[in-house]
Structure 1
Amino acid sequence: MTDNYSNLSVSSSSSLNSSFQDTEDDHTIARILAEEENLKFDNKLGKRLSHLDSIPHTPRVNGEIPNVNDATLDHERLSGRLVTYGLAELQMEGDGNCQFRALADQLFRNPDYHKHVRKAVIKQLKKFRKLYEGYVPMKYKTYLKKMKKSGEWGDHVTLQAAADRFGAKICLVTSFRDTCYIEILPKDNSPHKELWLSFWCEVHYNSLYASGDLPTRTPRRKHWLSLF
């Protein structure tokens, strides 16, 4: 009886702590979303690539990581494209959160907000399940449980959810051989901001700026290099 009561108390305490943490996270998200209104967004980068055709975007989960040779060629291709269009990458930490870090940098000029961006994306995926579950080749609850974890790589489903959640057009300059540029548009509303990311395909995301506007934040160790 005492043991059962003790277990119940621990469970209740854990539940309360979890609820408190969720509330704290919600307050933090609300605060950084409010700060977002103070940031100015323009279309300077878009004008540089306005002549390029964007392919229709279809959300999808991540594919296989390329081998060393293919990844090297892909990176060289991406680097060449960035030079051609006068773009520069702000390097994101390669800890599995790079997509969310890049989104956080574009949204709030602070990649450390990545966990709050991930939480907002997961809420979007949960609330509007019917919009996304058809693109997920596994049980949707399993996908959400996996994607909720820090360090889980974002995919093009989470990018679509981010575009929908933040009312943003997400512009990807990619290393794909036959696709230089992808636009991800919110499904139900016209975008009121643009977020620019580079995509070293199936390996890494970074935040993009015009070459002369690159912030001077110091990147951390690139853990994704250990993949090779």
Structure 2
Amino acid sequence: KDMFGTGMGYTALSRVRTLEGLFLIDLHVNKFYCNENIDRVLSQMKQIKRKQLIFQNSSNYLNILFHNIEGLKCNFNALQNHHITQHADFICLSETWLNDNMKKTNFDMNGYQLIHKSRSSSFSNNHKLHCQRRGGIALYYRDDISIQEIHSCEHLNLEHITFELLKEKLIVINCYRSSQQSKTEFLTNLTKHLKEIGIEKHIFLIGDFNENSLSDKSKPIETKLKSLGIGATYYSFHGILMFSINNECQINNSNHEIEYDYVENMEVDDTLLTPLPIVDIPKKSYKRKNQSNDDSLNKIFKSTTISTTTVKTNNTMIEKQIIFLQNLNDIIEKSIVEKSSITLTLDEQLSDINLKIIKIQGDGNCFFRAISHQLCRNESNHKTIRSTTINYLIENKDKFAPFIDDTDSTIDNYIERMSRNGTYADYLAVSAAAVIVNKNILIHELGKKPLFIPGSDYIDDQVHICYYPDKLHYNSVVDAIGNTAILPSEAIVFT
């Protein structure tokens, strides 16, 4: 009942694994829709290159895997059946969430021995973490590998499993620091453990220390480990760490520490067999099923509110903003449609794709008024949207400072000017507004394809406005019957 977005029907049906997995209680054929351009567009997509095999298939190497599993009980089947797991000699896990009352035999894996330590066994009775849930650390190692577990002489209040590979003379420490344990205490106890083992030995330290390696702030754990002589650091972002170590304790890894870059290039296979035609804007309707009741539509708009609180934005969305602003000139140029012998007005251009214009008051606040109309079907929230946009720019001004031109010279001057009532919104303000309303803004302009400004991870989260460059004015755009417009991806110019 009005629940399927683009691709959602396919996704839901494709994930059914058993007859009991889904019940189709009725069928609405008009909820499933497709477009004849899909096959053509898919055929133009570049293939992502497959990564090389991470683990070494050689008796001269030991393959070590680490993962914060966040619940061994609920993720055990996925762990033991994963293709990467089956190539590992050692599987180091943190946050198993197992306590001492659970049967460890329930988590046996063929060909592996299991060592597990619960959180309560790692901390003394009077420690605040002793009675807290979760935590726990585990090691799976192959039956044919000889190891010796190393125990500390005293209770260290440290979640760890330490063992020595007898043949390779290598010590491995699988360690976890809860975010509730102070870094000072953790470092004190870990340093004591390292010195007790003999810090001059070959030691491989692996674990989840809950310290952001990408942050510009102080990183006491990383700093201390470097001061102790612990060498190259590798990390992953919520992923599995994988290493291969040879007999000389040299590491062959896939977890290189990299500098963060706004523009992350994806490796693709750049070979297409034959050139394919460019997809034009289809001159047809892309509307949802009509709302049968105007009152229900009004209720939807009345329930839409604009929050004045701080907007929390993930790094991915900020990265999309940066890429958009960096490539703005190229994107605008790419949006220009070849001139035809037929001259259209903007109203006629929009009518061809079943859209129409709603006029907005022209007082310098027209962009924010148009967004307010898209969200609430009135212009009254324009001040709140501008204010929230400004707050977002203030919180992220270091990231957007490079995009300030000579008009303002500094980001602070720009923010001060943009804060004034009646100030026209440029593309920087537009991209910020897209994020704070959590919508992709599509801008229609005469003779151009719709310009896509990212604000949401979902393509169907769209608001539509039109722009008149000669008047520096924005109007609101809806579908032919006044509902929110939604265009498919092939009709949009992306970053």
Give the CA deviation at 1:214: 6.7
Alignment match, 1:211: 480
Alignment match, 1:190: 457
More strand by share: 2
Q: Is the contact between residue 347 and residue 357 of structure 2 (CA under 8 Å) also seen in structure 1? A: no
- The verdict on how the C-alpha distance between 1:97 and 1:35 changes in structure 2, with shifts beyond 3 A counting, is same
Alignment match, 1:161: 432
Tell me the TM-score normalised to structure 1 length.
0.58
**SS in structure 2 at match of 1:213:** coil
Q: Is the contact between residue 169 and residue 184 of structure 1 (CA under 8 Å) also seen in structure 2? A: yes
More relative contact order, 1 or 2 (CA 8 Å, 6+ apart): 1
Q: Is the contact between residue 89 and residue 214 of structure 1 (CA under 8 Å) also seen in structure 2? A: no
Q: Is the contact between residue 88 and residue 208 of structure 1 (CA under 8 Å) also seen in structure 2? A: yes
Q: Note the alpha carbon deviations across 1:66-88, whole angstroms, 9 max, x for none.
A: xxxxxxxxx96423311211211
Which one of 91, 105, 108 corresponds to residue 376 of structure 2?
A: 108
Give the CA deviation at 1:184: 0.5
CA RMSD of aligned residues (A): 2.9
**SS in structure 2 at match of 1:167:** coil
Tell me the TM-score normalised to structure 2 length.
0.28
Does structure 1 residue 58 correspond to structure 2 residue 325? Answer: yes
Give the CA deviation at 1:174: 1.3
Structure 1 unaligned spans of 5+: 1-33, 38-55, 61-74, 216-228
Q: Note the alpha carbon deviations across 1:170-196, whole angstroms, 9 max, x for none.
A: 111112x4x32100013xx51472111
Q: Name the CA distance, whole Å, in 2 between partners of 1:213 and 1:200.
A: 21
Structure 2 unaligned spans of 5+: 1-301, 306-322, 329-342, 485-495
Q: Name the CA distance, whole Å, in 1 between partners of 2:383 and 2:433.
A: 13
Percent of pairs with identical residues: 23
Letter in 2 for 1:150: N
Does structure 1 residue 122 correspond to structure 2 residue 390? Answer: yes
- 1:15-30 alignment, distance < 5 Å: none
Q: Name the CA distance, whole Å, in 1 between partners of 2:398 and 2:379.
A: 29
Runs of 4+ in structure 1 off by over 6 angstroms are none
- 1:67-106 alignment, distance < 5 Å: 77-106=345-374
- The verdict on how the C-alpha distance between 1:84 and 1:211 changes in structure 2, with shifts beyond 3 A counting, is same
Letter in 1 for 2:348: G
Q: Is the contact between residue 441 and residue 453 of structure 2 (CA under 8 Å) also seen in structure 1? A: yes
- More displaced stretch, 124-133 vs 142-151: 124-133
Letter in 2 for 1:147: M
Q: Name the CA distance, whole Å, in 2 between partners of 1:36 and 1:200.
A: 27
Alignment match, 1:68: none
Give the CA deviation at 1:211: 1.8
Q: Name the CA distance, whole Å, in 1 between partners of 2:426 and 2:441.
A: 13
Q: Name the CA distance, whole Å, in 2 between partners of 1:210 and 1:107.
A: 14
The structure with more radius of gyration: 2
Q: Is the contact between residue 404 and residue 410 of structure 2 (CA under 8 Å) also seen in structure 1? A: yes
More helix by share: 1
Letter in 2 for 1:197: I
Q: Name the CA distance, whole Å, in 2 between partners of 1:197 and 1:87.
A: 11
